[in-house]
Amino acid sequence: MAMATPDDSENFLLQMAPALGVAVLTLLFGAWALHAPPQTGEVGVVFAPWTDQGAAIAAIVAAGGRVVDAGRLPNVMIAYAADDGFDERVREKGAWFTAAANGLCAPAA
């Protein structure tokens, strides 16, 4: 039985690189599709971890949304977006991004 050489492992990685790239892109696209925020309705609004809830609530209200509940994490708020421009406006007010209101962005039970 022949011993594996360093060249064999390098060749294996080079051969597997396209498949690994497709797998990673598929996982990222799947996660994005699962957590894509709706245009209107309840959305999870994620702020920087050091943002306090008062500032987060003020940003949501200033962007034209209504606060529904706090999320499971202290920097996540659940808001009701009445129109499709809410996500852009709330990002201008300091939010990092919006997501579907499920999973970690779901209301605290």
**According to the 3-state scheme, what is the secondary structure of 40-93?**
CEEEEEECCCCCCHHHHHHHHHHCCCEEEEEECCCCEEEEEECCCCHHHHHHHC
Report d(CA 24, CA 18) in Å as an integer.
Answer: 10
Do 63 and 31 lie in one domain? The reply is no
Closest to 59 measured CA to CA, from 86, 85, 28: 86
Backbone phi, psi, residue 10, to 5°: -65, -40
Per-residue confidence (pLDDT) for residue 100, from 0 to 100: 82
Do 94 and 69 lie in one domain? The reply is yes
Backbone phi, psi, residue 107, to 5°: -60, 150
Per-residue confidence (pLDDT) for residue 10, from 0 to 100: 73
Do 29 and 46 lie in one domain? The reply is no
**Domain count for the chain:** 2
Q: What is the pTM of this model?
A: 0.65
Do 46 and 79 lie in one domain? The reply is yes
Per-residue confidence (pLDDT) for residue 32, from 0 to 100: 63
Do 23 and 49 lie in one domain? The reply is no
Per-residue confidence (pLDDT) for residue 103, from 0 to 100: 64
Do 13 and 30 lie in one domain? The reply is yes
- List, run by run, the mean pLDDT of 10-residue segments along the chain (109 residues): 60 80 77 66 90 92 91 87 90 90 64
Do 51 and 79 lie in one domain? The reply is yes
Could you tell me the residue range of the domain that residue 63 belongs to? 41-105
